[in-house]
Structure 1
Amino acid sequence: MAKLYFKYGVMGSSKTAQALITKFNYEERGMKVWLIKPQIDSRDGEGIIKSRIGLSSKAYVLHFKENVYDTYKELSEPVDVIIVDECQFMSEDQVNQLSMIVIDYKIPVLCFGLRTDFRTKMFPGSKRLLEIADSITEIKTICSCGKKATVNVRMDENGKIITEGEQILIGGNDRYTPMCYQCFIEGQKNQSKNNFKFLE
């Protein structure tokens, strides 16, 4: 039975690698994959998905206001599965459209991405996936303290935790590090001395 899957994890949890391995597994069995990445994710170049361990593949670039359901109907050949990397950058409407592809065409859609941003707030695409996905799985990694990492911490060039700014800032290990929530809070306390307050 086809499902809408949401596989989420913090930065550095091998989400992209798992997406590309999943693509390989389908193709190894002679199945056709439609690999998608949102337009805003330009880190590795136009139409390229690349993992930290060196796996890469060409991908269809989904524009922010594009109707993914309509685009699917216009594909030149049928596909057996849709895989989306960096799905947090999709709009809520696009997540709804993917769910309708699952329902109407009976093919699985696997979405890989972040749950929350550097302020621990949900991305719109991730929020909608948490609301309607048939299957939700956490891809785990660890904080430097050894606990499970749950926060995508944005850092400046001096290693200071940043808690203000635009929600989207494309970057990798140079900009972000995974932390547990306790280390995230304690890091802010150490930086702010006695002026710490929870993010609103």
Structure 2
Amino acid sequence: MAKLFFRYAAMNAGKSTALLQVAHNYEERGHTVRIFTAAVDDRYGQGKVTSRLGPQRQTEVFTRDTDFRELLAATPRIACVLIDEAQFLTKPQVWALHEIAHLQHIPVICYGLRTDFQGELFPGSASLLGLADEMDEMKTICDCGRKATMNMRVDASGRKQTEGAQVEIGGNSRYRSVCGRCFRAA
């Protein structure tokens, strides 16, 4: 039975690495996968799923206007759909992915952040939390050693930022994965 999965975590938990491993496992057995990442995230180049460990793969991109039903209807015998940076999905896209899992019997596995730097849900994440058949929290740790559950945006001097646009693409120089206590104390 195909399901819609949401695998979420704070930054630097290995979400992209896990996605690349799942794709490899399917393809090694001769199955077709479709992999998408958000067009807005171009840190490593447009349409690249990149692990901090080094592995990287060119993939398809999605924007706010991407119609997953239309795109996936064009490919017969898809074994799995993998979505990186799923927090950038829209609510209608999550509903479409839910439909694909349940009516086309294609597993859809979404990887992304749950919350932004202010502790607010991203729209895609909120929809996934509501619709996903299975959710898995991937773990990473804070500098203090506790489980990191928050994404803290920092300035060039490493000071916590509390205001700004919800989406600002950046890596380790702009964000830190922290526990709730360190998030509050900063």
Range of TM-score over shorter length: over 0.9
Residue in 1 that maps onto 2:37: 37
Show structure 2 runs of 5+ residues with no match. Answer: none
CA contact (8 A) 1:89 1:124 kept: yes
Residue in 2 that maps onto 1:49: 49
Identical-residue share of aligned pairs (%): 41
Classify the secondary structure of the residue corresponding to 2:111.
Answer: strand
Q: CA deviation at 1:78?
A: 2.8
Residue in 2 that maps onto 1:103: 102
The letter for the 1-side match of 2:66 is E
Residue in 2 that maps onto 1:173: 172
CA contact (8 A) 2:84 2:112 kept: yes
Q: CA deviation at 1:74?
A: 2.2
In 2, distance between residues paired with 1:98 and 1:41? 20
In 1, distance between residues paired with 2:29 and 2:137? 26
In 1, distance between residues paired with 2:181 and 2:62? 36
Q: Over residues 45-99 of structure 1, what are the superposed CA-to-partner deviations in whole Å (9 max), with x where a residue is unaligned?
A: 1121111000111111112112111111123x43100000000001011000001
Classify the secondary structure of the residue corresponding to 1:71.
Answer: helix
The letter for the 2-side match of 1:74 is A
The letter for the 1-side match of 2:119 is T
What is the TM-score with the length of structure 1 in the denominator? 0.91
Show structure 1 runs of 5+ residues with no match. Answer: 188-200
The letter for the 2-side match of 1:82 is V
CA contact (8 A) 2:38 2:47 kept: no
The letter for the 2-side match of 1:70 is E
Residue in 1 that maps onto 2:82: 83
In 2, distance between residues paired with 1:88 and 1:124? 7
Aligned length in residues: 186
